[in-house]
Amino acid sequence: MSTTQQILPKKEVTTFAFALCHFVVDFACVSTMLCAVSRVLGESGQNSLELIALSILLYDVVAFAFQLPVGIALDKLDKNSLAAMLSYALVGGGVLLSLVPVALFEWLAVLLLAVGNALFHCAGGLCVLTISQKHAGPSGIFIATGAVGVFLGTFSAQYGRLQVAFSLLVLLFLCASITRVVQKVNKKYWNIHNAPFAIPELSSRTLLAIALLCFVVALRSYTGMIMAFPWKSEMLLLALSILGVFAGKALGGVVADRIGFRTTAIFSLITAATLFVPSWEIPVMGLLGIFFFNFTMSITLASLANILPNAKGTAFGLASFSLAVGALPALAGFRIEHPAMLSGISLVSALALGVGLTLVKDSVATGPFGHERMLQAAQVAETAEEDNLIAELSDQVDELAVEDECVAEDYLAAEDKQVEG
């Protein structure tokens, strides 16, 4: 490994660069939706509350559901960094349009924000999944920062629109600069590209596993919208709950890489189900429940990507589309806000993930010490490939040696004939 590659390790640099940009993009989108769009629509007169609700629904549906076609397109185009740069421009355009106090421009701003958000998630997520080498840790770190961006974005409404917009544009410019640097380093030293796009022929077992993984993602999305803990009105506890979401998403993948995807998923969800039982009355139990419940986001994402190794953008899009589907019942008003519901969903998720990961155990490390098993498998494959190459070269050398020997014998025979003549 060269000195430059040691100083700029591709996995760490790519993961943390796009994780930082993920924070900024989600922060910018939520800030603009609350600080500008909601203000203008709220002041538009009759049915203003309905308009605000509709704008948020439109943003959520487009931002998440649109990631599936974007993921498929990026798999084929292999233009992840360019897509990320375009996403910053779209979000920045949404920020600028939101400053125009006209309802029509606010709706255009909502669409730009949503499409830009979808584009970034797929581009950044695909870059991280490509360098993850079947591990869940990098994708966990990437997705974790978005929760912090959303949380902090909700506080922007107390500041002036121009002040917020200027700050967001500066942050988006910094993201573009970071992405450009990563793109140049990749081109010069790493040469990372998407795998050639291909959807393998999927067996019924694999299709069932994909369906179960997407089902768990949808359940997680719904659960996140019904966690109406009574103590969340206290700012400190609310901030700690967001910290629990962040830490759970970030650490879940790291733990899964160490002890196995299936073991981590089942343990974390059963633990969360137990902690949720007294969570309404005991805040610390709820906080720990949130922490363990969020372990599995990176596991489901990495598992989908491992099942579709030549279509990781499509896998990311499937996970995001499932998030949108899971949010719809809550957005439509179907909310069962009770600790028993949280525990029940956690147990159902544990069962679904356990079965799903077992069905694709050849594609995903599901048992204890899965991380080590994957490394060993990779090393065995690499050694076998090297041995085959050495054997081929050895055969070629032997063939050349035989040919040289035959030529030498023919030459000596010819010499003898000339001497005799």
Q: What is the pLDDT of residues 197-222, one digit of tens each?
A: 999 889 999 999 999 999 999 999 99
Q: What percent of the chain has pLDDT over 70?
A: 82
Residue whose token pair is 């988006």: 172
Residue pair 94/109 in contact (Cβ under 8 Å)? The answer is: yes
Average pLDDT of span 321-327:
94
Residues 251 and 159 in one domain: no
Q: How many domains does the chain have?
A: 3
Interhelix angle 296-307/312-331, rounded to 10 degrees, is 140
- Give dist(CA 252, CA 297) in Å, integer: 8
Average pLDDT of span 169-185:
95
- Whether 373 maps to a domain, the answer reads no
Residues 229 and 154 in one domain: no
Residues 301 and 158 in one domain: no
Which pLDDT score, from 0 to 100, does residue 114 have? 96
Across 17-21, 58-62, 274-278, 359-363, least confident range: 359-363
Tens of pLDDT along 280-293?
999 999 999 999 99
Looking at residue 256, its amino acid is A
Looking at residue 88, its amino acid is Y
Average pLDDT of span 258-284:
96
CATH at 338: 1.20.1250.20
- Give dist(CA 215, CA 286) in Å, integer: 23
Tens of pLDDT along 84-107?
999 999 999 999 999 988 888 889
Residue pair 350/344 in contact (Cβ under 8 Å)? The answer is: no
Average pLDDT of span 182-210:
90
- Give dist(CA 29, CA 44) in Å, integer: 21
Across 59-63, 186-190, 401-405, least confident range: 401-405
- Whether 327 maps to a domain, the answer reads yes
Residues 342 and 387 in one domain: no
Q: What percent of the chain has pLDDT over 90?
A: 65
Residues 362 and 384 in one domain: no
Residue 321 pLDDT grade (very low, low, confident, very high; cuts 50, 70, 90) = very high
- Whether 231 maps to a domain, the answer reads yes
**Cα 172 off chain centre by:** 20
Average pLDDT of span 2-13:
66
Looking at residue 329, its amino acid is P
Q: What is the 3-state secondary structure (H, E, C) of 312-339?
A: HHHHHHHHHHHHHHHHHHHHCCCCCCCH
Residues 6+ apart with CB under 8 A from 250: 140, 141, 144
Domain that holds residue 295: 208-368
- Give dist(CA 257, CA 136) in Å, integer: 6
The total number of residues written for the chain in this structure: 421
Residues 270 and 385 in one domain: no
Tens of pLDDT along 132-174?
888 999 999 999 999 999 999 988 877 888 889 999 999 999 9
- Whether 20 maps to a domain, the answer reads yes
Which of 194, 219, 252 is the last residue before a domain boundary?
194
Which pLDDT score, from 0 to 100, does residue 398 have? 58
- Whether 203 maps to a domain, the answer reads no
Residues 172 and 104 in one domain: yes
Residues 212 and 321 in one domain: yes
Which pLDDT score, from 0 to 100, does residue 46 have? 54
Which pLDDT score, from 0 to 100, does residue 243 have? 96
Residues 213 and 343 in one domain: yes
DSSP category for residue 364: S
Of residues 208, 215, 209, 193, the one with CA closest to residue 313: 193
Q: What is the 3-state secondary structure (H, E, C) of 265-317?
A: HHHHHHHHHHHHCCCCCCHHHHHHHHHHHCCHHHHHHHHHHHHCCCCHHHHHH
Residues 212 and 156 in one domain: no
Residues 356 and 405 in one domain: no
Buried residues in 35-58 as b, exposed as e (16+ CB within 10 A): bbbbbbbeeeeeeeeebbeebbee
Tokens representing 2 are 């060269």
Residue 57 DSSP SS3? helix
Tell me the pLDDT of the chain averaged across its residues.
86
Decide which of 262 and 189 is more confident.
Answer: 262
Residues 39 and 174 in one domain: yes
Integer angstrom CA distances of residue 164 from 90, 106, 278, 400: 17, 16, 40, 73
- Whether 200 maps to a domain, the answer reads no
- Whether 199 maps to a domain, the answer reads no
Residue 369 pLDDT grade (very low, low, confident, very high; cuts 50, 70, 90) = very low
Which pLDDT score, from 0 to 100, does residue 361 have? 80
- Whether 238 maps to a domain, the answer reads yes
Average pLDDT of span 25-42:
85
Name the H helices within 360-369: none
- Give dist(CA 314, CA 210) in Å, integer: 12
Residue whose token pair is 């196995």: 260
**Other beta carbons less than 10 A from residue 104's beta carbon:** 9
Tens of pLDDT along 393-418?
555 555 555 555 555 555 455 555 55
Residue 45 DSSP SS3? coil
